[in-house]
């Protein structure tokens, strides 16, 4: 199987973007370690524990000779009604880990007999965005999202390590230039410039605060979170590369993946703030929203209600 055959197979199983790169250790590992050293990962201590694995993909598959990077559009245009939870687009459908892994398993079954491979989706300890960049899927925006200049940043990334020797693609070229729309729009000021590199301080990021952070949220950040109940789309919503153009309608195209379009009925914020554990367990089965945890989701709903009350009272 050559590179063209594998790419065609990836498109056939449902991916929108595909590229190939060499499996050399990530050039960004020292920057990543420095980011961790600054405490920007907050309570995500598992990131530091897995640092040795992220330093070389051979720790995951010793025989690796090529890295296949795939992308899947997840864009959804959803505006919740007042009093309803506001959830980031990527989490509106079925848990993306399950969706991407299933498609990558389909792809793995098409590999020649005896081929060694390793599927990597988000939770696997590998710097997937660097390899996706190397494979030509996009370049890094100031908000640290990978941006495809033709399609924007609304896509999941998946990797497959393989022992096949495949012709690599060229890295994606581009940049934000003087645009700072995402920096200015971030409600909590999480996108920062240090050492001439734009990065995200997770401790101030709404996605981190509403998903990974445990316990109460600092008062100076609560108001900035506003009505976000799980995750945040602000920096992508304002990005010019995510706005449609007459000759690039794919920039605004919504996902056609049925599992990602599958909606579930969320209770109101009032109900969510006091939801019993049994109901939470049933509600979040198969959803990325489960990551926030039982207490975290209830906390977020209470915070949304408090922010709304302050706004209505004219103090927000």
From residue 291, give the alpha-carbon distance in Å to each of 16, 30, 44, 187. Answer: 26, 28, 13, 22
CB of 232 closer than 8 Å to CB of 224: no
Annotated catalytic residue, options 56, 122, 163, 237: 122
CB of 300 closer than 8 Å to CB of 215: no
Neighbours of 26 (CB within 10 A): 21
Q: What does the block give as tokens for 28?
A: 């960004």
CB of 170 closer than 8 Å to CB of 21: no
Please give the Cα distance from 84 to 59 (Å, whole number).
Answer: 44
**Chain mean position to CA 121:** 10
263 is catalytic: no
What letter would DSSP give residue 127? -
* Nearest alpha carbon to residue 293 among 211, 207, 231: 211
Catalytically active residues are: 122
């Amino acid at each position: 199987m050559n590179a063209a055959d594998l790419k065609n197979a990836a498109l056939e199983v449902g991916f929108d973007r595909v590229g190939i790169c060499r499996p050399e250790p990530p050039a960004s590992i020292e920057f990543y370690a420095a980011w961790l050293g600054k405490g920007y990962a907050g309570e995500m201590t598992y990131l530091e524990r897995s640092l040795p694995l992220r330093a070389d993909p051979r720790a995951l598959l010793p025989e690796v000779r090529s890295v296949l990077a795939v992308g899947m559009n997840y864009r959804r245009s959803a505006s919740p009604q007042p009093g309803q939870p506001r959830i980031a687009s990527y989490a509106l459908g079925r848990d993306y880990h399950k969706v991407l892994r299933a498609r990558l398993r389909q792809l793995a079954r098409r590999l020649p007999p005896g081929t060694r491979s390793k599927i990597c989706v988000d939770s696997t300890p590998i710097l997937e965005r660097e390899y996706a960049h190397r494979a030509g899927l996009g370049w890094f925006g100031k908000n640290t999202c990978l941006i495809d200049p033709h399609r924007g940043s609304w896509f999941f990334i998946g990797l497959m390590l393989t022992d096949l020797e495949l012709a690599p693609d060229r890295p994606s070229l581009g940049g934000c230039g003087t645009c700072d729309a995402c920096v200015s729009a971030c409600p909590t000021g999480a996108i920062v410039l240090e050492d001439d590199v734009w990065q995200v301080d997770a401790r101030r990021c709404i996605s981190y605060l509403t998903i990974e952070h445990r316990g109460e949220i600092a008062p100076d950040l609560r108001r900035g979170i506003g009505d976000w109940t799980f995750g945040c789309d602000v920096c992508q919503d304002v990005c010019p590369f995510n706005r449609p153009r007459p000759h690039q309608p794919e920039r605004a195209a919504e996902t056609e993946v049925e599992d990602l379009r599958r909606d579930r009925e969320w209770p109101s914020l009032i109900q969510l703030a006091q939801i019993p554990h049994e109901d939470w367990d049933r509600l979040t089965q198969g959803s990325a929203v489960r990551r926030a945890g039982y207490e975290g989701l209830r906390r977020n709903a209470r915070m949304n209600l408090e922010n709304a009350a302050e706004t209505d009272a004219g103090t927000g």
